[in-house]
């Protein structure tokens, strides 16, 4: 494996793909307040054997490969389903409704098909299993699936992919799963597998990168865009130029430029750099969440999104011309300066600031929605928060950890450890409804803190939460984790980030048993 200069990319050494043969059976976040349903699992007692995390992850991967594929509709495919019945493993019957999940928006769920952005970490797990076990079939299955998706689920009109927060590919209709009146393309998380995609299907990868410029950016002179655009025809939005999405776009174009040397990608990156440079707050230097939107008038500040942007700018810089690379690094460093100037962890119930004022950098939700004048958004992270628009301490700390590995700033290191320390004595509330994602984030953060310090307390707590997660989401009836921590809602669904949990369990096993293994698992829920 070869790392890029920033240490957040990867090249996997895997075997050749093999043909997909259908089997007989085929088989984002919670709201700020949800009903109390289940008690957290008890951790292992002293002297008791821990769970075999590698065996748990392999059983999950084997079940997904064998029973979690598309054998439905007119055209079977190697695509993985993101929603499955756990026993026996298979897609819910056509027309059958799975139970609603408290806090999950219905238009974010994909019940009848695939969405590789929702289960991107499944692919990271498969590639890592090949490295760890020597079994080439894991990587081969991931390759087969991703190649098919990019060759069959790309819009011929825009080049955009049928994935993201609001779209998927339906197994029954062989068409996009459409959740709105229009088919909305939006990144759900960064796509960290471009190296692999360019090896599998470079033409489709390049077509997507060009489509992202031609059909996602509303104004190619000013850089105005929205995170939303239409998939099937030209229809970019505007006035929602969220920094994290801008970073995802820049990362995509940098990958395309590195391979094609097409100057259109340098232009695309320069236009977005101009936009963010020009629209920084004149007092604080903060990059606002959006410009020109009447609900916030440039005052809304989402600090965690600027850290995400900085990560992508830093990675992209190594792939750009010298002048543009320097501008990308300078913008990233200016985002660091602002983030590190924010007072964080000022009280027990105040973690990182989520919503702030771009001028003052203080916690404040400046949004105004005339249709919902009383709607309030959270201002601070909490250890186990996971609602839509919310975040846990670990969610943001893991992004900070990625940025720290790029620049080694002691200010970031202090924040990482401050967040990790809050998990040393803090468990999910008894009888709280838990989701895989927050447990996965806590495990990942604690492993990162252990890497930074060598302090055994962090590793012990990572194990503690791993055992808790296995007890919460697994039982002997199925190798798939349930979508939530109660058997009353007993199906598998990637929208609560089961893929991230499986990756965290595997990372824990690697760090305990094979710390020198040639494996990199990239945390990407930012």
CA distance 225 to 239: 6
Mean pLDDT of 178-196: 89
Q: Are 341 and 356 in contact (CB under 8 A)?
A: no
Mean pLDDT of 402-420: 98
Of the two residues 48 and 382, the one the predictor is more confident about is: 382
Mean pLDDT of 260-274: 98
Q: For the whole model, what pTM was predicted?
A: 0.89
Task: With a cut of 70, say whether residue 40 has pLDDT above it.
Answer: no
Q: Which residues contact 304 (CB under 8 A, 6 or more apart)?
A: 244, 352, 354, 391, 395, 396, 399, 526
Count of C-beta atoms within a 10 Å radius of residue 237? 17
Determine the 3-state secondary structure of 308 from DSSP.
helix
- At residue 376, the pLDDT reads 79
Beta-bridge partner residues of 89: 86
- At residue 123, the pLDDT reads 98
CA distance 355 to 362: 8
Q: Which residues contact 295 (CB under 8 A, 6 or more apart)?
A: 367, 368, 369
Task: With a cut of 50, say whether residue 179 has pLDDT above it.
Answer: yes
Mean pLDDT of 293-303: 92
Task: With a cut of 60, say whether residue 110 has pLDDT above it.
Answer: yes
Query: With pLDDT > 70 as the criterion, what percentage of the chain qualifies?
Result: 87
CA distance 195 to 370: 44
Residue 495 DSSP label: G
Task: With a cut of 60, say whether residue 230 has pLDDT above it.
Answer: yes
- At residue 465, the pLDDT reads 98
Selection from 124, 125, 120 nearest residue 54 by Cα:
125
Mean pLDDT of 179-193: 89
Mean pLDDT of 306-329: 97
SS (HEC) of 236-267: ECCCECCHHHHHHHHHHHHHHHHHHCCHHHHH
Task: With a cut of 60, say whether residue 444 has pLDDT above it.
Answer: yes
Task: With a cut of 60, say whether residue 27 has pLDDT above it.
Answer: no
- At residue 488, the pLDDT reads 86
Angle, helices 393-407/436-453, rounded to nearest 10 degrees: 40
Domains of the chain, by residue range, sit at 53-513
Give the chain's largest Cα–Cα span. 64
CA distance 246 to 268: 11
- At residue 24, the pLDDT reads 28
Task: With a cut of 60, say whether residue 254 has pLDDT above it.
Answer: yes
Mean pLDDT of 316-330: 97
**pLDDT tier, 382 (very low <50, low <70, confident <90, very high otherwise):** very high
- At residue 155, the pLDDT reads 98
Q: Which residues contact 334 (CB under 8 A, 6 or more apart)?
A: 280, 285
Report the range of poorest mean pLDDT among 156-160, 182-186, 336-340: 182-186
- At residue 374, the pLDDT reads 67
What is the token pair recorded at 465? 């939460």
**pLDDT tier, 98 (very low <50, low <70, confident <90, very high otherwise):** low
CA distance 211 to 163: 14
**pLDDT tier, 506 (very low <50, low <70, confident <90, very high otherwise):** very high
- At residue 345, the pLDDT reads 96
Task: Write phi, then psi, for 494 (nearest 5 degrees).
Answer: -70, -15
Selection from 506, 524, 389 nearest residue 138 by Cα:
506
Hey, which CATH number is domain 53-513, 2.30.110.10, 1.50.10.20, 3.40.50.720, 2.60.120.10?
Answer: 1.50.10.20
Q: Are 194 and 200 in contact (CB under 8 A)?
A: no
Of the two residues 262 and 365, the one the predictor is more confident about is: 262
Task: With a cut of 50, say whether residue 49 has pLDDT above it.
Answer: no
- Residue-wise pLDDT for 465-505, tens only, equals 999 999 999 999 999 999 988 888 889 999 999 999 999 99
**pLDDT tier, 109 (very low <50, low <70, confident <90, very high otherwise):** confident
Mean pLDDT of 440-455: 98
Preceding amide of 88 cis, omega within 30: yes
- At residue 97, the pLDDT reads 56
Which of 99-103, 200-204, 515-519 has the highest average model confidence (pLDDT)?
200-204
Please report, in angstroms and rounded to a whole number, the separation of the first and last CA atoms in the chain. 24
| Residue 323 host element (H or E) | helix 322-341
CA distance 481 to 487: 11
Task: With a cut of 70, say whether residue 21 has pLDDT above it.
Answer: no
Determine the 3-state secondary structure of 503 from DSSP.
helix
Strands 113-114, 89-90: pairing is unpaired
**Residue bearing tokens 């990867």:** 10
- At residue 370, the pLDDT reads 63
- At residue 35, the pLDDT reads 31
């Amino acid at each position: 494996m070869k790392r890029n200069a920033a240490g957040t990319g990867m090249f996997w050494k895997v075997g050749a793909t093999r043909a997909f043969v259908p089997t007989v059976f085929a088989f984002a976040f919670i709201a700020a307040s949800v009903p109390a349903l289940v008690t957290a699992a008890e951790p292992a007692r002293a002297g008791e054997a821990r769970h075999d995390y590698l065996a748990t992850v392999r059983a999950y991967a084997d079940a997904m490969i064998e029973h979690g594929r598309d054998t439905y509709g007119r055209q079977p495919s190697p695509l993985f389903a993101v929603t499955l019945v756990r026993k026996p493993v298979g897609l819910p019957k056509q027309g059958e409704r799975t139970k609603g999940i408290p806090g999950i928006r219905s238009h974010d769920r994909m019940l009848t098909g695939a969405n590789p952005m929702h289960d991107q970490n499944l692919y990271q797990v498969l590639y890592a299993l090949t490295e760890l076990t020597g079994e080439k079939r894991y990587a081969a299955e991931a390759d087969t699936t991703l190649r098919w998706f990019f060759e069959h689920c790309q819009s011929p009109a825009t080049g955009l992919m049928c994935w993201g927060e609001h779209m998927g590919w339906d197994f029954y209709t062989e068409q996009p799963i459409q959740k709105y009146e229009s088919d909305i393309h939006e990144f759900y998380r960064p796509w960290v597998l471009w190296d692999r995609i360019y090896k599998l299907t470079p033409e489709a990868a390049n077509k997507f990168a060009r489509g992202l410029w031609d059909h996602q950016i509303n104004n190619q002179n000013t850089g105005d865009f929205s995170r939303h655009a239409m998939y099937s025809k030209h229809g970019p939005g505007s006035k929602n130029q969220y920094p994290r999405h801008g970073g995802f776009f820049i990362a995509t174009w940098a990958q395309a430029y590195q391979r094609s040397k097409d100057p259109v990608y340098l232009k695309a990156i320069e236009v977005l750099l101009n936009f963010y440079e020009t629209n920084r707050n004149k007092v604080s230097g903060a990059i606002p969440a959006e410009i020109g939107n009447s609900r916030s008038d440039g005052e809304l500040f989402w600090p965690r999104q600027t850290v995400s942007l900085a990560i992508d700018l830093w990675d992209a810089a190594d792939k750009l011309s010298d002048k543009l690379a320097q501008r990308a690094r300078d913008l990233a460093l200016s985002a660091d300066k602002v983030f590190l100037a924010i007072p964080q962890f000022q009280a027990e119930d105040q973690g990182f600031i989520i919503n702030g004022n771009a001028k003052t950098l203080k916690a404040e939700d400046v949004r105004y929605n005339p249709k919902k004048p009383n709607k309030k958004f959270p201002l601070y992270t909490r250890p186990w928060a996971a609602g839509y628009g919310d975040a846990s301490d670990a969610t943001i700390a893991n992004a900070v950890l990625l940025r720290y590995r790029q620049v080694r700033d002691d200010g970031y290191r202090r924040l990482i450890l401050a967040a990790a320390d809050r998990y040393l004595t803090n468990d999910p509330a008894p009888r709280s409804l838990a989701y895989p994602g927050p447990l996965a984030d806590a495990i990942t953060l604690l492993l990162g803190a252990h890497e930074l310090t060598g302090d055994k307390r962090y590793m012990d707590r990572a194990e503690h939460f791993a055992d808790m997660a296995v007890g919460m989401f697994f039982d002997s009836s199925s190798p798939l984790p349930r979508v939530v921590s109660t058997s009353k809602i007993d199906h598998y669904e990637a929208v609560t980030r089961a893929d991230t949990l499986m990756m965290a369990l595997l990372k824990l096993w690697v760090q305990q048993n094979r710390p020198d293994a040639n494996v990199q698992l990239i945390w990407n829920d930012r």
